[in-house]
Each structure stands twice: as C-alpha cells, then as structure tokens.
Amino acid sequence: MNYIGSKHRLSSFIQDTIHSVCGQDLSDLVFCDLFAGTGTVGRVFKSQVKAIIANDLEFYSYVLNRNYIGNYKSFEYNDLIENLHSLPLQKGFIAAQYGEGGVGNRLYFSKHNAQKIDSIRTEVERWYRNKAISTDVYYFLLASLLESADKIANTASVYGSYLKTIKPRAAKSMVITPATFEITNTAHQVFQEDGNELITKISGDILYIDPPYNVRQYGANYHILNTIAKYNIFAPRGKTGLPIYNKSAYCSKKTVVSSFEQLIKNAQFKYIFVSYSNEGLMSPSVIKKVMKQYGRYDVKTTSYKRFRADKTASRHHKASSTIEYLHILEKQ
C-alpha cells in the first residue's frame, strides 16, 4: 500500500542499523512496532524475533497488523476468496456514499467496485457472525479487502480527496488478492491504542517508534479504509464524506514534544529506535535532547526520495529528497 511515511523502501537501512546495535541474533528478543501503520517494519522482524508487539491508533492499521503480524499459523483460503469473487453486486453504504452515481456523489470508487466492496464486506461479516470463519481468517479477509480496494481507489494517493473522473486503474474490476502473511513458531500481539498509553502497560527489548512527523492526520487521510474496515453507518461530513476521526498528539506542534518525551521516559525497553524526517515538527536536535536524558544516544541518517503526495505544487518543498533519521537510544 502507498502509505504516508511507509518504511518499505527504508527497511534495509532500519534492519541493518538495528542489527549493528542489537546483534545479528534477535531470536530471544521482544520487538515492538508502536506506530505500525501498514506493518512493514514488524513484518521484516517477525521471523527474526521471539515476539512482535504491533500497535497503531487507527482501525484499518489494526486490521492489517492483526493479519500480517497477528496471524502466524497457516489456513486454507482459496475457496473463500473464490466465493467472494462470485458474489452478486450489492448497493450498500460504500456505494451510496463513496461510489460513482451514489447519493453522496463522491467519486472514490467506480459504481461497480463500490458495490463489489459492499457485497464482499457484508458477506465476510456474515460468515464471521455465523462462526463460519475464525477470527484469524476474518482479519485475513478484511486485510485482503483493504489492500485490494486501495489498488482501485480513484485517488491521486491518499483519501483526502478523490479525482474528478474515474482514472483507468480505478475503472478495472477489483480483484481480491490474498494478504499473505509469514508463518512463525511463536505468537505475536496486536493492539489499537494510543502509543503513549500502551507504553505504560508493556515491556520488551527493542522499541521501534515511527510517529507521524507532520500535521497530516492519518485518520483523515485514510478515512475510507477505516470506513470499509469498521463498516458502521454514520453521517458522512462534507465533500469527502469524512467521519469523526482520531487526532494524534504527534501531528500538532503544541503537543508533539511533550508526548514524545513522555513516551521515551515511560518506555521499558533496552533499545529504542526512532524514525523521523528532517522536515518534521520536531527538529533532530530536539529529538536528541529528549533522548539523551535517558541513556546512550546515537544517530544514523540516509537520504530518501519524497512521498508522492508531497510533491504537488501546493506543497512548496524545494528538495526532491529528504533526510531520514534513525535516532538510537540504549536506555540506562
């Protein structure tokens, strides 16, 4: 998934740095990805560590991580996916509010795909309620639907707006691609909590912190994914049909430093790694100042090509690349 702040392309840099600090063999260690997003970083370490703890504030992220990280035993799914593809189309909440020709007149999906999302989402819920599928399979199917719907969404990149006409990729019929996950010998934990609250209840060895670094709230930019995942009925607001969404303290200049400081202070982990861009709300020197109070500090950097949605003319960034920092703390 094309996600703001995704660490997909930085995963080797993060992995190499963590290995250089914590050693090559992590098999006895608990690794926490506290702002997990699409689960990219947890997925890299899932088979290398004893257990992953994955967490994010948003429900769509919980669904993705509950599948990619939380699922660790194999099951059969081909017949289920086939079954979902053969369902008749259905006019539901997505078609009405976010589909072409719906009452909401919002062009997030073609008419066909909006109805396909409604029919699949309804059937998956029915199977789960009737106990025809397990919780593991339920989240696997929801994650598969989110990933597949994201591929044919009629947007430039995020869900803050939709395009005026249906683009060629969004006109194609949605294909449900299985959201395959890695099989491991041990179980993992997945949460949907504010990271600052969860940190007071957990402990482990390696804490990876990748908070939002600017004012763009994920709950607003990915609201359609939450709506498909939750599938609750609400009164959509405004042109883009926003629900009431979570506001993160990490997206506000006023609250970000104090939240970050609390987080580092409360963390019961030996090693802490913080990903942050040089263009974030907190400067590298502020992050260093906060972290240095709690142990031995170091930092690694790499240059990184800007996220697609940040390149539009409305965002006046001069540089086409940014510097990605990985701040390191050995807590004492």
Ligand X SMILES: C[S@@+](CC[C@H](N)C(=O)[O-])C[C@H]1O[C@@H](n2cnc3c(N)ncnc32)[C@H](O)[C@@H]1O
Residues forming contacts to ligand X in the complex (CB under 6 A) are: 3, 5-7, 35, 37-38, 40-41, 55-58, 61, 194-195, 210-212, 218, 248-250
- For residues 276 and 213, the answer to whether their CB atoms sit within 8 Å is yes
Please give the single-letter amino acid code of residue 19.
H
CB of 217 to ligand X, least distance (A): 8
CB of 45 to ligand X, least distance (A): 12
CB of 304 to ligand X, least distance (A): 12
CB of 84 to ligand X, least distance (A): 25
CB of 83 to ligand X, least distance (A): 30
**Between 35 and 140, CB nearer to ligand X:** 35
Biggest CA–CA distance in the chain, Å, is 60
**Between 5 and 92, CB nearer to ligand X:** 5
**Between 228 and 249, CB nearer to ligand X:** 249
Cα(139)–Cα(71) distance, integer angstroms: 9
Helix (H, G, I), strand (E, B) or coil at 76: coil
**Between 211 and 241, CB nearer to ligand X:** 211
CB of 89 to ligand X, least distance (A): 31
CB of 27 to ligand X, least distance (A): 23
Cα(52)–Cα(42) distance, integer angstroms: 7
DSSP 308-329: GGGGSTTS----SEEEEEEEEE
- For residues 272 and 291, the answer to whether their CB atoms sit within 8 Å is yes
**Between 212 and 241, CB nearer to ligand X:** 212
DSSP 167-227: -HHHHSPP----------SS--EEE-S-HHHHTTT--EEEEEE----SS--HHHHTHHHHH
157 Cβ contact partners less than 8 Å away, ≥ 6 residues apart: 2, 307, 308, 309
**Between 98 and 250, CB nearer to ligand X:** 250
**Between 92 and 211, CB nearer to ligand X:** 211
CA atoms within 13 A of residue 268's CA, in its CB half-sphere: 8
